[in-house]
Structure 1
Amino acid sequence: MLRSLTILKRLMSVALTLARYDVLFLFEQLGIAPAVVFMARLVPVGRVRGIKQMRPGQRLARALHDLGPTAIKLGQALSTRPDVMGEEIAEDLTELQDRLPPFSGKEARRIIEEDLGAPIDEIFSAFDDEAVAAASIAQVHFATLSNGEDVAVKVLRPHIRRDFKADFQLMGTIAEWVERARPDLMRLKLVESVQTLEDTVRFEMDLRFEAAAADEMRENFKEDDYFYIPEVKWPYCAKRVMVLERIHGVNVDEIEKIKELGLNPNDILEKASTAFFNMVFRDGFFHADLHPGNMFVLDDGTLAAVDFGITGRLDHTTQRHLGELLLSFITRDYKKCARVHFEAGWVPMSESEELFTQAARSIAEPIMGLPQNEISMARLLAQLFEVTEYFSMETQPQLIQLQKTMLIAEGVGRNLNPNVNMWFLAEPFIESWMRENLGPQAKVKAVAEETRDTLLRLPRIVANIEETLEDIGKNGLKLDTGKKRKSPNGVSFGWIGWVIATGLAAALGFEYFG
């Protein structure tokens, strides 16, 4: 009861803020708490000055910013969901930045000393109390270690875990209400999407995970001289504190400064494109927040990245489907585009592949007919999802981060050179990756690796079977009813299941080697 009242109170507070910006449509369109919306309209909250000149999405972005860190994260997630918000509002939400006022340097020092267990003067020979960047989760200070190394120190905001926990309870409840009130929106997987967002933020709130992500990405690119990841200073990392090597460079969107260094923006764009596709297709582990503030160009033209709080992973199967999908659009092979959707299970097999091919063509052709520099592959994929309702296509939460990253990457690419399309620039890379990973030799290698993994697991599988059969022999087969059930001749039904399972495993094994 108390939890329900707390959620209702917080919901009313949110509704009043939305009312001030005249964006209660967010609740109305999703069918959320109509009684709360009705009351919020009755309260004379007063409208924010100048909102009449703003588009709905701009007003919503301002309202979410005022609601604080969790709402900002939600808005950033919604910017990747034109299927929920509509194209124009989703576009406006992409401008939502999580820039917040910093907390005091004194508080930052206190947190650092608590987590690292030593006075700050013993750790650093210099520490700048003024934060150089302050976001919704943490802020960054520059410092110098006692050994003279320049570092960047990331410190978690005070009480941030408590605040996010309460807000995600509210968002989870709202998502459940929406799915109950609007069964037609079940395919959007709002509850699952909120859980995915919460899991992402939970990882962000333990800076040891971010340090591990940075370290892994540095390992992935250790042989690549065009892309640099700063070194993690592990002795100075804890749950609320992370210390990295400081990067000295210019932001990737500072074109004039890049030119002053004697560098060509086209070369930087090519490096950015190569780095992005290596993350996605080579490593299956990508930086999911590559906005210009997190990318730097070093004096020698090397591209460097910072801030690894948001990362994403893709398994090999999803990598293959994505590669095929991008290539099918670039080459305008809409039959292949449709086939990928069906093979991936994104569209039910009961739907018409021919009609989906037609739908893909109707969306892509008006875009693909434009000059390359005007084509947004991220927008094309987003528009494709607009028609998914006709084909009972479910949202794929695991791709939300990638969609957002593609959108940001396009912005970086256009800023470096508005006349070059990074996706077409990467076409040879995708084709090469497809040949290496989907050709005959790659398939033989994949089967060999899978067979090897199966054989390595075989002793444990056999041991588990023996333990299970021994237990069944002693106690009989236990069903949900709690009763033991055997076949008329006294043989446990478990034997039949294991005979079938063993037969299937054997058949599978023969198929591998046949």
Structure 2
Amino acid sequence: MIPPFSHLIRLARAGFVLAREGVFALVDPAALPGGAQLGLKLARLLERPTTASGATRLSTALGALGPSYVKLGQFLATRPDVVGQAIAADLESLQDKMPPFPQDEAEAAIERALGRPVHGMFAAFGPPIAAASVAQVHRAEIETPTGRKAVAVKVLRPGIERSLSADIQAFFFAARLAERISAEARRLRLTEVVATLARSVTVELDLRLEAAAASEMADNVKDDPDFRVPEVEWDLTAHNVLTTEWVDGTPLSDRGALERRGLDLPKLGRTVIQSFLRHAVRDGFFHADMHPGNLFVDDAGRLVAVDFGIMGRLTEKERRFLAEILYGFISRDYRRTAEVHFEAGYVPSHHSVEAFMQAIRAIGEPIHNRSAEDISMAKLLTLLFEVTALFDMKTRPELLLLQKTMVVVEGVGRMLDPKLDMWRTAEPVVRTWLERHLGAAGRVEEAVGGVSEVGRFLGGVPGLLARGSRIAEQLDRATRDGIALAPETVAGIGEAEARRNRGTTLALWAIAVLLLLHLLG
């Protein structure tokens, strides 16, 4: 357990860097108690002159503070409800680039993790080609029955787990302190925000989980002709080492190289958007960090994604919600879009569907009077979530992550084709899913599922009746015992008969309750 004094030292250092970069200029002093307002004024005395915008100052400061704070910034980019839209947008550009750690340290970490010498596992093992806050990547080669195969080896930074753990404990300390002194901090549930960050970092620090995410997505897209995922080398993967197929391709961040290859960039932009929507709506499992550096075009012209440390999941209910609201805006069916929010339970039933429909129309109608390249699906979802807040819609972390990813994906699509028609691009994917799940085929599947449930229920009825019968017999035996003890008079017999009737009634109720519990289970 780290003592509070250590937390204070870490937080004091972070506070100094934030103050020096002018980050505290973003804080509204009116939301703070008197003592905190004084502290804010003193902190602002440390600001150094800069022409950078306030939001840019924050990303600069977090980058200077190191890996834990870079991760914090990237996470806060997914929570515009906490930091606001402007800051969240700026944090999207926070660069997760760090100096590489020495080659011998990387090789030693791999040997400890896999229990074999590096040069016994790899035919060749090169220097780091990319280094981020948590890990770095090396290009290597392995021997296969068909010859040498290039692979990418990702290795966690030595000591990163201990460092991140200490910083996250300090974040918890600061969040709990803030919630004690600030109503606004309690409203934003800062402790819960830090807990979510901690869970996210835990996943990123176990590379076996990233390998599992890549493997799951590979299964999902195996029949997609225009998108693929690198194959995982499970024998060369451990807690702090991940080995995958090497991707020979052109990164989407290099537009010049894409043009030199003669690729159809507008078509590639549509592929990016439609692939993301298929993953989110069709599979309920999407890559939540689809920036241009994580996307490549291979020699066959297929889109290839890498880095599966941050993933998003949507349940069937959330996928239906997303598909129906997008299609509602595409078709201008605002009543249906409003009804979906109520059916999903996102908007409390005491609100009026008509009033909510009116608010949605105010968002949707302007987009139909603008050219395709001016319509932002991500911005529309942002406006939608702002409006739903007026109708007591609670924050949905999974939808915020979806919104954040859509902002990034839309940016990639627009980079490839500035005139990309987002709605025409999205429509076939969304319509196909709705027809599949809400049309005739979906109703047949639902009916079959219902028949299966009924079949399982009927199969359990004999056992339920037997249990009910045993309860009835026990109650009836208790009734007979009662008769034997009763006085041998007409009045006594009448009282025993009444008890028998009550026993039968209780038995019937017991059977009914058992049936109900089975149905609910």
Is structure 2 residue 130 aligned with structure 1 residue 133?
A: yes
Q: CA deviation at 1:76?
A: 2.0
Correspondence 1:318-357 to 2 at 5 A: 318-357=318-357
SS of 1:387's equivalent?
helix
Conserved? CA contact 1:32–1:178, under 8 Å: no
Distance verdict in 2 for CA 1:356–1:255, change over 3 Å = same
Q: CA deviation at 1:416?
A: 0.9
SS of 1:232's equivalent?
coil
Bigger shift: 382-391 or 29-38?
29-38
Structure 1 counterpart of 2:57: 59
Conserved? CA contact 1:205–1:240, under 8 Å: yes
* Counterpart amino acid of residue 141 in structure 1: H
Structure 2 counterpart of 1:502: 514
Distance verdict in 2 for CA 1:379–1:217, change over 3 Å = same
- Return the alpha-carbon distance in structure 2 between the equivalents of residues 27 and 454 of structure 1: 58
Bigger shift: 29-38 or 498-507?
29-38
- Return the alpha-carbon distance in structure 1 between the equivalents of residues 240 and 87 of structure 2: 35
**Structure (1 or 2) with the larger CA radius of gyration:** 2
Is structure 2 residue 121 aligned with structure 1 residue 123?
A: yes
* Counterpart amino acid of residue 219 in structure 1: D
* Counterpart amino acid of residue 85 in structure 1: V
Gaps of 5+ in 1: 474-487, 510-514
Conserved? CA contact 1:64–1:72, under 8 Å: yes
Correspondence 1:302-381 to 2 at 5 A: 302-381=302-381
Structure 2 counterpart of 1:399: 399
- Return the alpha-carbon distance in structure 2 between the equivalents of residues 201 and 39 of structure 1: 31
Conserved? CA contact 1:19–1:41, under 8 Å: no
Q: CA deviation at 1:502?
A: 2.8
Q: CA deviation at 1:71?
A: 1.9
Q: CA deviation at 1:28?
A: 5.1
Is structure 2 residue 31 aligned with structure 1 residue 19?
A: no
Structure 1 counterpart of 2:482: none
2:72 to 71, 74, 77: 74
SS of 1:426's equivalent?
helix
Bigger shift: 139-148 or 6-15?
6-15
**TM-score, structure 1 normalization:** 0.84
1:144 to 141, 150, 167: 141
Q: CA deviation at 1:186?
A: 5.9
SS of 2:304's equivalent?
strand
- The count of corresponding residues between Structure 1 and Structure 2 is 485
Correspondence 1:233-312 to 2 at 5 A: 233-312=233-312
SS of 2:349's equivalent?
coil
Distance verdict in 2 for CA 1:96–1:192, change over 3 Å = same
SS of 1:347's equivalent?
coil
Q: CA deviation at 1:37?
A: 6.8
Conserved? CA contact 2:32–2:182, under 8 Å: no
SS of 1:452's equivalent?
helix
2:102 to 101, 104, 108: 104
**TM-score, structure 2 normalization:** 0.83
Distance verdict in 2 for CA 1:111–1:398, change over 3 Å = same
String of CA shifts for 1:44-78, please: whole Å, max 9, x gaps.
Answer: 9743452xx12111111111222222222222232
- Return the alpha-carbon distance in structure 1 between the equivalents of residues 354 and 207 of structure 2: 48
- Return the alpha-carbon distance in structure 2 between the equivalents of residues 83 and 314 of structure 1: 20
Distance verdict in 2 for CA 1:384–1:223, change over 3 Å = closer
SS of 2:138's equivalent?
strand
Q: CA deviation at 1:190?
A: 4.3
SS of 1:128's equivalent?
strand
- Return the alpha-carbon distance in structure 2 between the equivalents of residues 185 and 416 of structure 1: 40
Conserved? CA contact 2:33–2:181, under 8 Å: no
Q: CA deviation at 1:105?
A: 1.4
Distance verdict in 2 for CA 1:162–1:456, change over 3 Å = farther
- Return the alpha-carbon distance in structure 2 between the equivalents of residues 440 and 187 of structure 1: 45
Is structure 2 residue 220 aligned with structure 1 residue 223?
A: no
Structure 2 counterpart of 1:484: none
* Counterpart amino acid of residue 145 in structure 1: I
Conserved? CA contact 1:188–1:394, under 8 Å: no
Conserved? CA contact 2:21–2:57, under 8 Å: yes
SS of 1:231's equivalent?
coil
- Return the alpha-carbon distance in structure 2 between the equivalents of residues 125 and 30 of structure 1: 63
Percent identical among aligned pairs is 42
- Return the alpha-carbon distance in structure 1 between the equivalents of residues 30 and 303 of structure 2: 42
- Return the alpha-carbon distance in structure 2 between the equivalents of residues 188 and 366 of structure 1: 31
Q: CA deviation at 1:90?
A: 2.3
Distance verdict in 2 for CA 1:314–1:498, change over 3 Å = farther
Conserved? CA contact 2:228–2:305, under 8 Å: yes
SS of 1:225's equivalent?
coil
